[in-house]
Amino acid sequence: MLSAIDLNLFDGAAVPLWALGGTLQLCDAAAQEDADVSCADQRFNHGGSMLPSDAPANGPVLNARCPFMGLSAFTEDDAEFFYGRDRDTGRVLEAVCTRPVTIVVGPSGCGKSSLVQAGVLPRLRAKGVSISEVRPTSGLSAAAVLARALAEVLEQGLGETERPARTLELLELLKIDRIDSVAAELRAEVLVYGGIAGHVLFVDQLEEYADAEPQAARDLFGLLAALAGKDGSATLHIVTTARPGSLDTLVTVDTSRLVSEAVCFLAPLARADLARAVSGPVDAMPGLSFEPGLPDRILEAARDEPGRMPLIQVTLTELWMQRTRSSLTHAAYDDIGGVAGSIASYAEHALNLLTQAQRDCVPRLFVQLVRPGDGDAYSRQPVRATDLSPELLDLARELATRRLVVLHHAPGGADGEEIVDLPHEALIQLWPRLRQWLVDYRDFRVWQEQLRADLRRWQTHAQETARLLRGYDLAEALDRLAKHPEDISADERGYILLSHRRSRWRAGRAVQTASGVAGKAAVSTKQVKDSGSRPHWQGLTVVGLWVAVLLAAASISVHGLLSSFRLHSQLGPSDTPAVVTAIVALGTATGTLIGVVLTSYAKYVQARGQAEADLIRARAEMMRAEADVTRARAGLPPHTPSVNGDPSAPTPLASLAAPDASQPPPSVGSPDAP
């Protein structure tokens, strides 16, 4: 209950202190204007309250707790203010009690999470069922997501030193290809530590995980489906929420029958139920009321709006903050711009309470909490607090007090890993300023999502060096890192810098290799030139000796004939062998010489052509080697021809210094700055 406390301060002057969301705000009559501004700082603090500025100190005192949720879903703690879903709550409760798996399916903004958390789960606890939550987080594998949730249950019986080993054991067991062999044992173990009437694993916002990590979402659903079921008299139940489009991602051959039996469709509230959701919380709070006709105005304005429940909740929260005494008024409704303007008003008021330095950081924070999709589509994306820069994390904590972002801890995470998220997708659709930020940052965020996909593949494939960035992708990553150093997480930065160092090492090796090829090509060119001009001395010598012998024989025969002719003045029969020998020798010598000349000429022509061809090839090889040296120094891969034989034109992207290639490559797990 809110109360005014009179304390004798400042020489006995009575000063009222208002309890606003757990914070006492000092207000005195002399500084009423400043107090109003300071009190307004608490307008978005769920769980707190603010008396209207014109409420008398001795006027009616309302429950300090705001009965409306703004953009947040109703939780088990808010069940007393959850109205309008009685029939749906009973229907889903019956499904959960009779089925191992229940999927509450409905469009965004219809209240799926609120129905389960504020309607179904409290009734399950009343039956003795224990409950734990599974929070899928983008970037985590299905095994890691489920291991965190199960560790929260199973580690109850373990000491502090045993828990890390148990978590690692769960990660090993929770693999989709071996879950069938261990599911029964894990189910029994969970039910030992669960409630006497069974245990429920509640998976909220599975659709966002399916959007960001389709395969991981399928694996997670497969693991959950395998774990669900009976063990003796107790049952391990799986309850999750999803949008209709997410079912296409989750369904596989193995789970199609289960999904068809597990789905409970949830439609937007009918007019009568919506009216009950609006008036019920007000009726439950003594002293609080609507001005006549205001609920009808709200319902009429929200009739055709998509995601109308978050719209109405934000509108009612705004009216609560601006109430006059104990009444929610038409004047306040007009001031906030009605239902259509309530979310923008809600967000803008929160920003107006920040410092200028904080407002400058707001776009950077919000674009990290949204993932760009196809076309102009966007969806929520939870982010680990450790992935945000210190100033963005501080800003997130500040905005969490005004419910413009939400903070929660991943179940079973190391040291309760903190997650930052948007309270509802309606903020993306209906806050014009945020939409403009998303357009402005879209190019960077699309690139960053691709980088994160590359990083996850590298991590899941044993950090293979072949999956590091190179070429154009690396050059772009270095450029983005230089322009957005604060918006790139430590893991992403390490991946980029490791890729850079590895590329420089490869460049050094490539320069060394290409230089060696170029040197060999130059030597080869010189050898071709020398071989093309060197005569074939051995062959010519043999032929020359043979011709000389023939000519000598012919010369001897002719000399003998001439001598015989001088003596006898004629040639006789005895001179016939000498004549034959001379003729044969001369003919053979002449033929040999002609054959040698022709053969030598043919070989000369052939050798000359081959030498010229070899010279051209050697020169081309040397030119390619020199080009590879240039490309290696630029950090590019070696030159390769295209399919049709045309060389691909190199495009210089970054000037990376080539280190000593004799140094070993960098360790994959230890990125160094360039």
Q: Give 372's strand partners.
A: 378
245 or 646, greater pLDDT: 245
pLDDT of residue 326: 87
pLDDT by residue (tens digit) across 201-240?
A: 999 878 888 888 889 999 999 999 999 999 888 999 999 9
d(CA 199, CA 392): 37
pTM value is 0.57
Q: Are 205 and 241 within 8 A, CB to CB?
A: yes
Residues 635 and 505 sit within 8 Å (Cβ to Cβ)? no
Predicted confidence (pLDDT) per residue in 458-516, tens digit: 988 888 888 899 888 988 999 999 998 888 988 899 999 999 888 878 766 655 665 56
Compute the distance between CA of residue 166 and CA of residue 157 in angstroms, rounded to an integer: 11
Rounded to an integer, the average pLDDT of 628-649 is: 57
Q: Which residues contact 602 (CB under 8 A, 6 or more apart)?
A: none
Give residue for tokens 């490791």.
498
Residue type, 398: E
DSSP string for residues in 453-474: HHHHHHHHTTT-GGGS--HHHH
Mean pLDDT computed over 46-73: 57
Mean pLDDT of 80-100: 94
Contact in structure between 598 and 605 (CB atoms under 8 Å): no
Alpha-carbon separation of residue 164 from 71, 141, 147, 152, 411 (angstroms): 36, 18, 11, 12, 14
Confidence of residue 267 (pLDDT cuts 50, 70, 90): confident
Q: How far apart are CA 269 and CA 404, in angstroms?
A: 25
CA distance 198 to 129: 5
Tokens of 356: 């200028």
Phi, psi torsion values for 577, nearest 5 degrees: -55, -40
Question: Could you tell me the end-to-end alpha-carbon distance of the chain, in angstroms, rounded to an integer?
Answer: 60
CA 494 distance to own-chain centroid = 15
Residue type, 245: G
Q: What one-character-per-residue DSSP string does 523-564 give?
A: HHHHHHHHHHH---HHHHHHHHHHHHHHHHHHHHHHHHHHHH
- Least confident among 124-133, 296-305, 319-328, 436-445: 296-305
d(CA 528, CA 615): 6
569-611 pLDDT per residue, tens: 666 665 566 666 767 767 776 777 777 677 767 776 776 777 6
DSSP 23: E
Tokens 């070429």 — which residue?
471
Q: pLDDT per residue over 356-381, tens digit each? A: 999 999 999 999 999 998 888 888 88
3-class SS letters over 200-265: EEEECCHHHHHHHCHHHHHHHHHHHHHHCEEECCEEEEEEEEECCCHHHHHCCCCCHHHHHHHEEE
Contact 535, 542 (CB under 8 A): no
Exposed, middle or buried, 598 (CB in 10 Å: 0-12/13-18/19+)? exposed
Half-sphere exposure of 608 (CA within 13 A, CB side): 6
Residue with tokens 């296409």: 248
Q: What are phi and psi of 462, to 5 degrees?
A: 55, 30
Helix count (H) and strand count (E) of the chain? 24, 16
